[in-house]
A and B are shown apart, each in its own frame.
Chain A
Amino acid sequence: MYFQNLVNGLCAGCGYALVALGFSLIYEVCRFFDLGQGGIYVVAFYAAYVVQEWGGLSLPKEFLVSAVIAAGLGSLVYILVYHQLRRRGARNVTLLIASLAVLMLLQNVIILVFGPDIKTIRGNIADIPLQFQGAHFSFAQLFMVIAALVVYALVGLVRMYTPLGRTMRAIGNDSELARIVGVRTERVIVATVAVGSAITAIAAIVKGMDVDIGPTDGLSLVLMAWVATILGGRGRIGNTLLAGIAVGLIGNGVTIWTRTSWQPIVVYTVLLILLFIRPRGVGAIRTSAFEDR
């Protein structure tokens, strides 16, 4: 019973962690929480849905199409909205409100086109039942864990060893200084937004293989990712993974004592308590991560 909950929590947590990764990559370089990723998430899921309805594409190609669409949409939104705002000297609050507007816009466009009902992209493989030490889970859940680990490892390597990763970290550290030493910051930021959106798309499909998703699911998911990003601390990918899993475990642990519907209440109450105890984020070491800028 407890072990089953642990397994469920781990799988759900890996789902949150995947969304949180795209989210926190963007947060690291742009310094604001891009809630519009919730909209990208839904759009990516519906792209995969359309691809599947038309048929004829294998799963890897489905991932590719959806990720490319998400990356294109994400960078388009950045260039059309956030870049314009930043160029005009907008504060963080403004960017947050704009990202909320983007979320509402994408969500409602999807409802207008596809209707408000949930859609499914679950294939036959996804439902294969598996068992480990008495805990039952589906292949889709296992896939979620594997996908999270692989994507995190890849992103970690890219951040460490490639020029893009180095410039990303440089901008995260001090964007002004990065510009002075010759980093083309805006290009790197657009590239990061594209990568982050692509990861969000992967998260959407992986999640979609496990459960059905509707157009309004973006907001609650992006909130969970926001929680994980803050608990993990800025620019610390490993901590984000752990924080995402922790959010999943807390959420599923709750179901031992009470109904599932109370899950959000407990998760957010825990978040508020954690913020009270560790205002800089639980995972953040003594960085200036959340100082005023």
Chain B
Amino acid sequence: MTEYSPNGDGRAILEIKNLKKHFRVGRRASLKAVDGISLEIKEGETLGLVGESGCGKTTVGRVLVRLYEPSDGEVLFGGQDVHRTRGDDAKLLNRKMQMIFQDPQASLNPRMVVSDIVAEGIDIHNLAESKKERLDRVHELLETVGLSKEHANRFPHEFSGGQRQRIGVARALAVEPEFIVADEPVSALDVSIQAQVINLMKTLQREHDLTYLFISHDLSVVKYISDRVGVMYLGQLVELADSDELYANPLHPYTRALLSAVPVPDPDYESERERTVIAGDLPSPVNPPSGCRFRTRCPQAVEAAAHVDPPWREAKPGHWIQACPCFA
């Protein structure tokens, strides 16, 4: 895979170079969750990462915030190698990079009250000088995410799903991060609540100059929040472009199939659209197909796709694809 070179004018806050994460399964086999991904995330943007379950999108997010060590490749945050940093520098990185998880039920400690959940990071990084300052900060954060002061002494179970996700957002914001990995932050929520959280995340981004990596399987949600979108398939990035460009002119057959599979809440559109339903299931990431990984399900697969590792290249300015022989 060729190096990703920057496009546009934004400064890269995060550079991912040929990142791989393999998990050992059994004696000789390894599950190639992420298998050679290179991309840059620019300061202040939202990069959306979409793909089906098992494509490695969550693993990418987890490697970035150092929940996993990569098997190969590197991640640079502000020029600093995230995985080779130790001591105080590492602690600082932990503060600058935060994560919001999918399940607001599982990601909040049920035995802690909200103020302690939100202030945990403040305590660890000594961001408050007195008890009063700590509490003021918690109150301020709760109000920022649309909750109120009175909520500070309650336990997570006293909240609805949407409110819990707001607590998760407040916790991430508490340490004044620069970069947030949001892993399916709205997938567990009802549609009417989803929109509340998406709008909240957009507002916070503007007010706090945040950069997001927004991971989701929901293409419509990703389009709404992202400036650029990357599509993953079996551990690799197959397409990356500006959000509007990707949805208007998808080039890779997988992106096309994925977009055409999304049911659109518009009956006329639904009855008129041409659907490319792709057959079959995702191959195992333990033993991915050679060459182009999508070839086993690709509606336009060609013989050559099995032998060539498709190069990562810029099809038009800012629009990157894994150039499989079937369409290149």
Say whether A associates with B. no
- Which A residues are within 8 Å of any B CB, using their own CB? none
- Which B residues are within 8 Å of any A CB, using their own CB? none
